[in-house]
Structure 1
Amino acid sequence: MEQHSPSIRTQAVALMRHGVPNRIVAERLNIPRGTIGWWRSEDRKARGEAYAQPTDCPQCTGREFDAIAYSYLLGLYLGDGHIISKPKQHHLSIFCNAAQTGLIAAAENAMRKVMPLPHVSQRVKPGCVEVKSYTKHWTCMFPQHGPGKKHERRITLEPWQQEIVAAHPWEFIRGLIHSDGCRLTNWTTRVVAGERKRYEYPRYFFTNVSDDIRRLYTDTLDKLGVEWTYCKRNGNPFNISTARKASVALMDTHVGPKY
């Protein structure tokens, strides 16, 4: 093992005690990260300090965070997201269509803006990409987390979440559409002056089996002045349609198709 001078070690420990991450200390002093980690561990032992995983969780630290990014991420989470919270495994996952690279980038960007410190990665699966952010503190940011599937338990927003959605409703709608929605072009034919003509018109669909999540979606649409209807399939009101021209125009302006 390469020997380093006591002065270099002292300098490294001083930086770490001021909150500089191991990676930054290693790069600044040109010391292997493993050595820096060992020095940090030995310094903690010498001071009798118990290790605590660093966090920038807004709920635990009280720091300000990007509310716009959070409103969008909340929509993604309620649609195609879940949290793993086990003794040695904690992460938030958002599942995206592999072909929709813009959505993948937006999901990762939102995670980093809400909590920059946790590691974020992508896991490629057949037909999809799982965007993952590793920290147990996502359960603080998404108190809707719990055992079982979302549609099998009550989903309500905390007062602080309601305030964010009320301040940034379009980001919330965009997140829901980007997770469990789509923009389609329907068509029909009509006879005009004895000639059958084809007409095309766009519409937005949102599909979710949770009554609570659908209600959060429609309540927000109501506040935004967007008209919607239930589109039942096999008697189930899981699909919500927006087809009125003015409402589709609003959705196009603030949401748009996934890409």
Structure 2
Amino acid sequence: MRPPHQRAEVAKLLASGMSDGAAAHASGIPRATVRDWRRGGVEREAPTPTCPRCGGAQHDPLALDRRAYAYLLGLYLGDGHVVATRRGVYRLRIYVDGRHPRLAQRVVETMQLVLPSSRAGLIRHHTDHMLVASQYAKCWPCLLPQHGEGVKHERPIILDGWQDGIVDEHPDQLVRGLLHSDGWRGTNRVVVNGKTYNYGRYQFSNRSDDIRGLFCAALDRLDIPWRRMNRWNISVARGSAVATLDAFVEPKD
């Protein structure tokens, strides 16, 4: 709706004897609106802007909760799935081991932060011992453009420029999300001269070269040393590096 002072200005112009067209030209208000005001009608509301890509309400990726989005992106790349439902609506699902209900609840809370307009929920998978956090929206293909047919490791996974900007700001949250989905924190036991030493270690496993590359690039941004264990596994085992990860990657339990 237009501010009251504009309507008052048009009323004065019409009262001076101007036609609808002349008052519209003088005030910059559309002629149809001037005519409706003169007749005492209700101003027509402009149509709600829509996204040309998904057809849903217009959204701005740069206006997202960027920290929460970086974490959600890591979760999605690890154990997430976007599927089309009816009427152009998509469902985002993040799968969490049933042994980690607190983690599953954090996933739901993160979804809600990223997309407050749509309610996120949590259900238990009917066959596997899994919890499924999910949320419906038309805009998921826009907010997660890595969505596509088939499994992720069989298609390219490349971030859009705006996603790169968010990851540059919050590489720790991308790492956190990836470790909470496809990662593990355990203990290395080494025996030296009959004495056993225990060392903390993180391990990340994913079959996608692109996703492993994103994980390692984020570690590099954080100056966290890592090494490739084998084809699909990345290890972080240096004491100072493990301590750095411990500072922001809370336990799954």
Which TM-score tier does this pair reach, normalised by the shorter chain? 0.7 to 0.9
2:235 to 218, 238, 241: 241
Normalized per residue, which structure has more strand? Answer: 1
- C-alpha spacing 1:163/1:97, structure 2 compared with 1 (3 Å): same
Tell me the amino acid that sits aligned with residue 105 of structure 2.
Answer: A
Contact 1:59–1:141 (8 Å) recurs in 2: no
Contact 1:94–1:132 (8 Å) recurs in 2: yes
1:179 partner SS: helix
Identity %: 40
Task: Using structure 1 for the length normalisation, give the TM-score.
Answer: 0.72
Q: Distance in 2 between matches of 1:112 and 1:58?
A: 18
Q: Distance in 1 between matches of 2:250 and 2:242?
A: 9
Equivalent residue number for residue 76 of structure 1: 75
Q: Deviations over 1:75-109 (max 9, x none)?
A: 00000001002444620000001121221111101
Q: Distance in 2 between matches of 1:100 and 1:80?
A: 14
Offset, 1:198: 0.9
Contact 1:182–1:257 (8 Å) recurs in 2: no
Contact 1:156–1:212 (8 Å) recurs in 2: yes
2:215 partner SS: helix
1:258 partner SS: coil
Aligned ranges 1:62-211 → 2 under 5 Å: 62=60, 64-88=63-87, 90-125=90-125, 126-191=128-193, 196-211=194-209
Q: Answer yes or no: is 1:258 the counterpart of 2:252.
A: yes
1:223 to 221, 224, 233: 221
Contact 1:182–1:258 (8 Å) recurs in 2: no
Tell me the amino acid that sits aligned with residue 224 of structure 2.
Answer: V
Q: Deviations over 1:164-185 (max 9, x none)?
A: 0000111110000000001011
Q: Distance in 2 between matches of 1:58 and 1:220?
A: 32
- Structure 2 unaligned spans of 5+: 1-43
Aligned residues, how many? 202
Tell me the amino acid that sits aligned with residue 75 of structure 1.
Answer: G
Contact 2:48–2:57 (8 Å) recurs in 1: no
Q: Distance in 2 between matches of 1:61 and 1:129?
A: 29
Contact 2:80–2:93 (8 Å) recurs in 1: yes
**Pair member with larger Rg:** 2
Contact 1:90–1:136 (8 Å) recurs in 2: yes
- C-alpha spacing 1:164/1:58, structure 2 compared with 1 (3 Å): farther
Q: Distance in 1 between matches of 2:157 and 2:117?
A: 28
Contact 1:242–1:248 (8 Å) recurs in 2: yes
Contact 1:82–1:92 (8 Å) recurs in 2: yes
Tell me the amino acid that sits aligned with residue 242 of structure 1.
Answer: V
Equivalent residue number for residue 5 of structure 1: none
